[in-house]
């Protein structure tokens, strides 16, 4: 080993050009590209989840892409354990390039993660129904009753975060904050780390999203969804909720016209990109921002 281990972290919203930048970096450095996206771990859905193409994978070594069955609920803890296995078997002098759009994965890599037990779909659905018509004040009041520490940490009563905290408490009998107190250090915390967030202009990103999904429809996404539906999986599984899967499913069943399916999937992708940017802004505010061409903003 010539020195401290090195990692490059490339985050960004969907369709911002992360995979291309990672491939360019890997070809220059000989680094290993590691998937840091929660949906790209699932097999079958290469096109729908915008995984690197087979041609791109032939140009540089990629890890954790399409390695998990869509019948599996693959948690952040399981992803971290898979990453640790990659770290353990990789030459210490080799650069690891983590690329993706799942902010929680990047946070876990550096800052660690509390491995909360998987929550059953039934409990999640029960909490979702309970909070469906609640106001922000009502959500926060309920959370304060069941997990006062998590309520204190939240600046706003974000529905998804409240649902998760309540579901954890009801399934395990422990508060989410108590699990977070058990948090283990991140596996690359002591490495030399180069961080970047791709931050394209909103209008440019909007155009790229629209063009990309229309292209997916023509280039294999429909066949992938047909194959996925053929497995007759639980509709609550993460892979079954991947953007594009419900829309293509409804088109295949005659509930939507083709253009409606494309429009709805494009809108869902825009909304997802907006949530990603909000996470990166709030949780990665000190990371360098890059435009589409890779120039620092």
What average pLDDT does the structure give for the chain? 91
Query: Does 239 belong to an annotated binding site?
Result: no
User: What's the rounded Cα separation, in Å, for the pair 216 and 220?
Assistant: 6
Phi, psi of 87 (to 5 degrees): -60, -45
User: What's the rounded Cα separation, in Å, for the pair 19 and 34?
Assistant: 10
Q: Say whether both 191 and 56 belong to one domain.
A: yes
Residue 296, domain member (yes or no): no
Q: Say whether both 79 and 143 belong to one domain.
A: no
Q: Say whether both 52 and 167 belong to one domain.
A: no
Residue 158 has a pLDDT of 74
Cβ density class 6-39: b for 16+ within 10 Å, e for less: bbbbbbbbbbbbbbebbbebbeeeebbbbbbbbb
* DSSP category for residue 191: S
Q: Say whether both 47 and 132 belong to one domain.
A: no
Residue 172, domain member (yes or no): yes
* DSSP category for residue 238: G
Q: Say whether both 207 and 257 belong to one domain.
A: yes
User: What's the rounded Cα separation, in Å, for the pair 245 and 223?
Assistant: 11
Q: Say whether both 23 and 87 belong to one domain.
A: yes
Instruction: Extract the tokens encoding 227.
Output: 């194959």
Mean pLDDT of 110-123: 83
Q: Say whether both 100 and 243 belong to one domain.
A: no
Residue 20, domain member (yes or no): yes
Residues 6+ apart with CB under 8 A from 41: 35, 64, 65, 66, 67, 68, 74, 79
Confidence of residue 197 (pLDDT cuts 50, 70, 90): very high
Task: Specify the number of domains making up the chain.
Answer: 3
CATH code, 135 = 1.10.20
Confidence of residue 1 (pLDDT cuts 50, 70, 90): very low
Instruction: Extract the tokens encoding 155.
Output: 């600046």
Domain that includes residue 76, residue range: 6-114+187-200+284-290
User: What's the rounded Cα separation, in Å, for the pair 291 and 199?
Assistant: 5
For the beta carbon of residue 46, count every other beta carbon within 10 angstroms.
19
When mean pLDDT is compared across 20-34, 83-97, 107-121, the lowest value belongs to 107-121
Query: Does 85 belong to an annotated binding site?
Result: no
Residue 166, domain member (yes or no): yes
Q: Say whether both 85 and 173 belong to one domain.
A: no
Query: Does 13 belong to an annotated binding site?
Result: yes
User: Which pairing describes strands 62-63 and 96-100: parallel, antiparallel, or unpaired?
Assistant: unpaired
Q: Say whether both 94 and 191 belong to one domain.
A: yes
User: What's the rounded Cα separation, in Å, for the pair 233 and 96?
Assistant: 34
Digit-coded pLDDT (tens) for 8-25 = 999 999 999 999 999 999
Q: Where are the beta strands (DSSP E) in the chain?
A: 6-11, 32-35, 62-63, 96-100, 192-198, 289-290
Residue 192, domain member (yes or no): yes
* DSSP category for residue 37: -
Long-range contacts made by residues 175-179, C-beta under 8 angstroms, separation at least 24? 175/146, 175/147, 175/149, 175/150, 176/116, 176/147, 176/150, 177/147, 177/149, 177/150, 177/153, 178/149, 179/114, 179/115, 179/116
Q: Say whether both 223 and 165 belong to one domain.
A: no
Q: In the chain, pLDDT over 90 holds for what percent of residues?
A: 74
Q: With 90 as the cut, is the pLDDT of residue 40 above it?
A: yes
Residue 21, domain member (yes or no): yes
CATH code, 252 = 1.10.287.890
Query: Does 14 belong to an annotated binding site?
Result: yes
Digit-coded pLDDT (tens) for 127-141 = 989 988 888 889 889
User: What's the rounded Cα separation, in Å, for the pair 289 and 24?
Assistant: 18
Q: Say whether both 78 and 196 belong to one domain.
A: yes
Q: Say whether both 37 and 149 belong to one domain.
A: no
Write down the number of H helices and E strands in the chain: 13, 6
User: Which pairing describes strands 6-11 and 32-35: parallel, antiparallel, or unpaired?
Assistant: unpaired
Residue 297, domain member (yes or no): no
Phi, psi of 63 (to 5 degrees): -135, 145
Query: Does 16 belong to an annotated binding site?
Result: yes
Between 263 and 183, the higher pLDDT residue: 263
Confidence of residue 265 (pLDDT cuts 50, 70, 90): very high
Instruction: Tell me the CA distances in angstroms from 272 to 100, 191, 242, 294, one per residue in order.
Output: 13, 30, 11, 22
Query: Does 200 belong to an annotated binding site?
Result: no
Residue 278, domain member (yes or no): yes
CATH code, 83 = 3.40.50.300
Question: Which strands sit side by side in the sheet containing 289-290, from one edge to the other?
Answer: 62-63, 32-35, 96-100, 6-11, 192-198, 289-290
User: What's the rounded Cα separation, in Å, for the pair 258 and 269?
Assistant: 17
Confidence of residue 296 (pLDDT cuts 50, 70, 90): low
């Amino acid at each position: 080993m010539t020195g401290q281990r090195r990692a490059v972290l490339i985050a960004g919203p969907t369709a911002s050009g992360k995979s291309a930048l990672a491939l360019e970096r890997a070809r220059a450095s000989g680094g290993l590209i590691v998937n840091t996206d929660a949906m790209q771990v699932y097999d079958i859905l290469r096109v729908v989840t915008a995984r690197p193409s087979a041609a791109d994978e032939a140009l540089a070594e990629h890890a954790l892409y399409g390695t998990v069955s869509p019948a599996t609920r693959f948690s952040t803890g399981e992803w971290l354990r898979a990453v640790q296995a990659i770290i353990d078997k990789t030459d210490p002098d080799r650069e690891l390039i983590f690329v993706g759009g799942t902010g929680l994965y990047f946070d876990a890599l550096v800052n660690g993660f509390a491995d909360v037990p998987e929550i059953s779909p039934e409990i999640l659905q029960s909490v979702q129904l309970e909070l469906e018509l609640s106001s922000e004040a009502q959500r926060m009041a309920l959370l304060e009753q069941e997990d006062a520490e998590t309520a204190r940490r939240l600046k706003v009563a974000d529905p998804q975060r409240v649902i998760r905290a309540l579901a954890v408490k009801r399934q395990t009998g422990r508060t989410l904050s108590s699990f977070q107190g058990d948090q283990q250090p991140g596996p690359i915390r002591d490495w030399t780390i180069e961080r970047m967030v791709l931050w394209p202009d909103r209008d440019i990103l909007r155009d790229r999203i629209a063009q990309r999904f229309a292209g997916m429809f023509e280039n294999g996404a429909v066949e992938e969804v047909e194959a996925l539906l053929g497995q007759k999986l639980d509709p609550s599984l993460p892979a079954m909720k991947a953007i594009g899967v419900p829309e293509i499913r409804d088109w295949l069943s005659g509930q939507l016209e083709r253009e409606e399916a494309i429009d709805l999937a494009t809108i869902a992708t825009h909304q997802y990109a907006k949530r990603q940017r909000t996470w990166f802004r709030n949780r990665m505010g000190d990371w360098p921002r890059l435009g589409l061409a890779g120039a620092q903003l």
